[in-house]
Chain A
Amino acid sequence: MTVSDAGQPVLAAPESRRPIGLLLVAVPVLLVIWLIIWPIISAIIQTLWMRLPEGGDTFSLETYRFFFSDGYSLSNLSLTLWTTGVCAILLLVVCLPIALYLRFSDSRIAAYVQGLAIFPMFVPSIILSFAFIRVLGPNGTVDLLLNAMSLPKIRSPYLTPWGPVIGLVWDNIPLTVLILLSGLGNVSNQAIEAARDVGAGRFALLWHIILPRISNSVLVAISFAVLGIFSAFTLPYVLGPAAPEMMGPFMQRTFRELYEPRTAITQAVITFGFCIVFGLFYVRSVAKNRTP
């Protein structure tokens, strides 16, 4: 409700300000408190307080100290940081040209390109993983085609760090394009034409006129991608190397196969720490676009 709306129904206010509304929203709100807010608080408390053998609790950074001194944990973390960084850069390199093209073209081909760019949204990542293996895996379609042309086989990215990178970029193209495109909607044609009139070239136009106006959308797109990629599970689990592994599969294995929930939760809190800036920025941007 906007401010003017809120001010208008003065007479109706006491009647509609009944707590019945609270009753109607109670169940979903309690679910959020129980299954999102409480687990986060509990995770932090649980990993910071150690149970002593003789009873009682004490403050301790032991689980975190272990994580940051364990070579395997650290190599998983650095693989995750590498994958996230490479994916974010690749996404921008791939999606910004597509979005720019879609913004400034109205040909029939543009509609086709937009349809294709959004299509991965309707392909579940597990089907994508299977398709990836069939095309780029050992003896996959690319190998078949190269073999038919008497060329050597490729070095397959399957089960290497590049496997998840390719999969995650593919998976994130639609929303990145849509968010960038929505930002490009704020760049007026007049601004572009004015700059062209004074003789700005294509790159000057991009650098001085377009990028400053869509920088917020770029940051939103990157934040959204980072949040999704940093703790991605399915694609790295299926396509990535067994060791080192990304944080998602690492947490899953620690929790379900090694039965070390405390260690797994420590790893989760560490992923929160690395993503918190992106998370808060992203949530703030979503909230700004939405008045309750």
Chain B
Amino acid sequence: MAATLIRRPVDWTGIVFAVVLTLVIVFPLIVVGTWAFTNVWRFPAVIPQEFGLKFWNQTLARADVWGSITMSLTLATTVTGLSALICLPAAYAFARLDFPGRDILFFSFLAGHAFPKFGLLVAIAGIFLQLNLIGTFWGVVLIQLVGTLLFMIWIPVAAFQSVDRRMEEAARDVGAGPFRVFWSITLPQAGPTIAAAILLSFVGTFYETEGAWLIGAPQVRTLPVLMISFINNQPVIQYGAVLSVLLWVPSFIALLFARRVVNSGSFARGFGG
């Protein structure tokens, strides 16, 4: 072990990449994190004059912050719930049943991905304008729901397909009904992947900014939308910094769960790689 370590040449390329990427990717986020815990930081001090939690109290005392946190959580829960409700049965059908037009319907969920996203949102907004859905909660729900369909169908389809069919047949042979088989055999095996899909769609919806801004503003104000207005009009830097830290929490949870999924080759292949 020690011998191989000594013989291996120093990985200079790796060190250069590691240093540059740390500077470019980690450093800016550390700066934001520092601002969030800073009471006073005046130019030109390199280190803040005073650290503290003063602005956490002030930010969390703002009604607009709580309003948008509630709005974001309500929206993401509604969209994810509806999406699971309509997509999981569909995923099961795509994985297990044969019906006319199955393949073309399966690939129809890709349609939205052939177009630049914001252009498509504007086209949808044109339809919503005639239906008076602009500026409404349900308008935003619909536009975000459409965004979750591909993930919520394709990932669970793969999960259902990878369930061991012989175990299901064995259970049926000893007299288990179809629901019993689904509950005791299919679901436990497909469950973790489906849970990952649900988590991804919740987090994705939580951060969805463009649809919420185009369709919902100014009545529907989610956390990312509030963040945009903080960046544009809020002179107190710490409000934005504290909000950034709050805003990052769901992503952090996703990071903990999804890292392994993302690093696997099948994830990149799902994006056409």
Contacts and interface: CB of A to CB of B under 8 A. Distances in A.
B268 A283 contact: no
Contacts of A31: 86, 145-146, 149
B190 to A, nearest CB: 16
B191 interface: no
Interface residues of A, number: 115
A110 B11 CA distance: 9
Contacts of B224: 124, 126, 234
Interface string A74-109: 000000000000000000000001100100010101
B89 A268 contact: no
Majority secondary structure of chain A interface residues (helix, strand, loop or mixed): helix
A217 B269 CA distance: 10
B244 A130 contact: yes
A101 B17 contact: yes
A67 interface: no
Contacts of A185: 265
Contacts of A132: 28
Interface residues of B, number: 100
A145 B23 CA distance: 14
Given A17-B99, A28-B109, A120-B25, A178 B268 contact: yes
A264 interface: yes
B195 interface: no
Interface string B85-115: 0110110111011111111011111111111
Interface string B101-145: 111011111111111111110111111010000000000001101
21 contacts: A21-B102, A24-B90, A31-B86, A32-B109, A43-B122, A109-B14, A109-B18, A124-B248, A126-B224, A130-B227, A147-B44, A173-B25, A217-B273, A220-B272, A227-B116, A227-B117, A234-B209, A234-B210, A237-B228, A271-B118, A272-B116
